Amino acid sequence: MAKRLIIKPRSASWLELHFTYNPSILPELKLTAGRGGYQWLPDEKIWLIHKMKESAVTTLFLEHDYTVKSMSKPESEPAKSTNGKASNPYLEILRSISPELAHGVYRSLAQKLHPDVKGDLLAMQHLNEAWEQYSKERGKSW
């Protein structure tokens, strides 16, 4: 069964998470939500996450091989950067987390996306471009 996550904004500070059940992700989700809080709504079969960035949620689920779909923007409109070009979703994820975590996320995604392990070449190229841009912005090379 494919693992899927759908993220919907519920209010200014709450995100709805609709995802395929996987017991291994729940402890990490609770730990990542931390002080912000989380709540299970059994009648609606959704998790609510409080004060957590959508990109942090996305990263966590990508690390567990989920297909992620955000309902915060219309599907037909790709995210735009300030210069008018379509933005790189990996770059947005890297910018939203701490530098120490970003390096680990990059390595984890690179291992999964690398063509030598039947990954997606185009996705790997986007990830590498995002990492190069992120490194330039941080003024640091790993």
The domain locations on the chain are 4-70, 89-138
Which range scores top for mean pLDDT: 7-11, 46-50, 121-125, 133-137?
133-137
CA separation, residue 33 to residues 22, 41, 48, 59, 65 (Å): 17, 16, 10, 13, 19
Q: Which residues is 48 bridged to in the sheet?
A: 16, 39
Statement: the pTM of the whole predicted model exceeds 0.75: no
pLDDT tens, position by position, 58-94? 888 888 888 887 776 433 344 444 454 556 778 877 8
Average pLDDT (38-46) is 81
pLDDT (0 to 100) of residue 39: 83
Report pLDDT for 76. 39
Tell me whether residue 140 is exposed, middle or buried, using C-beta atoms within 10 angstroms of its C-beta: 0 to 12, 13 to 18, 19 or more.
exposed
- pLDDT value of residue 97: 77
Residue 92 makes CB contacts below 8 A (sequence gap 6+) with 55, 79
Name the 3-class secondary structure at 129: helix
H or E stretch covering 7: strand 4-9
- pLDDT band of residue 2 (cuts 50, 70, 90) is confident
The whole-angstrom separation of Cα 74 and Cα 115 is 30
Length of the chain: 142
Instruction: Name the CA dihedral angle for 30, 31, 35, 40, rounded to a multiple of 10 degrees.
Output: 0
